[in-house]
Amino acid sequence: MSLRERLGAELFQKVAGPRGQRQREMVHGSPGPRWFEPGSPIGRVHGDASMFVGGIRAIMLQSLHPAAMQGVADHSGYRGDMWGRLAQVATYIAVTTFGTEEHALRAIRAVQRAHASVTGTMPDGTPYDASDPHLLGWVHAAEIHSFLLAHDRFGHRPLVGVERDEYVAQTSVAAGHLGVLDPPQTVHELHATLAAYAPELRGTDAARDAIRFLVWHPDLPLAARPAYLSLVGAAVSLTPESARRELGLPHPPVLDVALDRTVGRALGKVSTGAIRWAMAPGHAHARALQEAARA
C-alpha cells in the first residue's frame, strides 16, 4: 500500500471501527433500491471530510440539552470506548445515506431498540426518555445544522440554492422513520426549529465534563493529537459564543471575532484537506462498489 492508502485505511478504521471495511462493502455494494441518488446533496455532505468537523460540533451542540446529555451520561460508554461509539454513529449515517432501503430501515430499528432502554431521571427528578420525539428532534436538528455548517465552511463543493433545502429534506427521511415528528424540510425551518429549542438549552456539569473528555482525552497517539485538536479548533470556531460559554470552551473576549474565525477556518481547511487526500482511494473504491451494485 502507498503512504496515502495506508493513512486512509488507518483513519477509516479508527472512525468506522474494526468491521469498517466489511460495512463499506455491505453499504455501497449491496444491490437494491436506495432512498437517494448518487451525487445528491445528502451524499455530498455526508461523504465529505468536513463531516469530521461537523460531527465534533454536533456533539458540542447536542450536549446543551440537559435531558439528552443526561441520557448520554447515564447510559453511554463514551469514556471507555469513545471511538467505538463514534463508529456506531458513523455506520448509522453511512447506512441511512448510501445503503439500501432495507439496510437503512434495519439500522433505524436497531437504534430504536437501543433507545428503548435509555430512560432515567434528571437530578431534579424529571424523567427522560431517549425515544421522546421532542429529544429526537433536538438531536436531529443540531446534527444536520452542524453537518451543513461545516460543509459550507470546509466542504469540497458546498451546496448552493435549492440544494440546501433538498439536503434538509433528505435528512428528514431517516429522522421521520426514527421517530422525529415533523422534521424540518428547509433551511428556514431548520433555523426555526433550533430557535424553538433555545430556552431549554444550558451547559450542565455532565455536558462540560463530556466535552472536556472529548477535547482532551481522545485516546489517540501523541503524534496524532495535533491533527485532532485542529479539527476540534475548527469545530469550536463554528460554535456560537453563548454555547462556548455554557460548555466552558474558549471564548476570549480580547480576541477579535474575525481573527478567531480566520484561525478556525485555516485549521479546518488544512485538516479536512489532509483527510480528503488520505481517504480519496477509499472513496473511489466506494464509488466502484456503488456502480457495480447499480449494474
CA distance 172 to 175: 5
Residue linked to cell 468506522: 16
Report pLDDT for 25.
93
CA distance 221 to 219: 7
CA distance 199 to 79: 29
For each successive 10 residues of the chain (295 residues), what is the average pLDDT? Answer: 81 83 92 94 97 94 96 80 83 97 97 96 94 98 98 96 98 98 98 98 94 87 85 90 89 49 76 89 90 87
**In total, how many domains does the chain have?**
1
pTM for the complete prediction?
0.92
CA distance 200 to 81: 29
Q: Would you tell me how many other CB atoms lie within 10 Å of the CB of residue 1? A: 9
Ramachandran quadrant class, 17 (left: phi over 0; alpha: psi -120 to 50; beta: rest): left
Work out the end-to-end distance of the chain between its first and last CA atoms, rounded to an integer number of angstroms: 28
Report pLDDT for 4.
85
Q: Which of 84, 82, 66 is nearest to 121 (CA)?
A: 66
Give whole-number Cα distances, 97 to 20, 94, 152, 280, in Å. Answer: 16, 5, 19, 19
Q: Could you list the residue range(s) of the whole structural domain that residue 215 is in?
A: 3-294
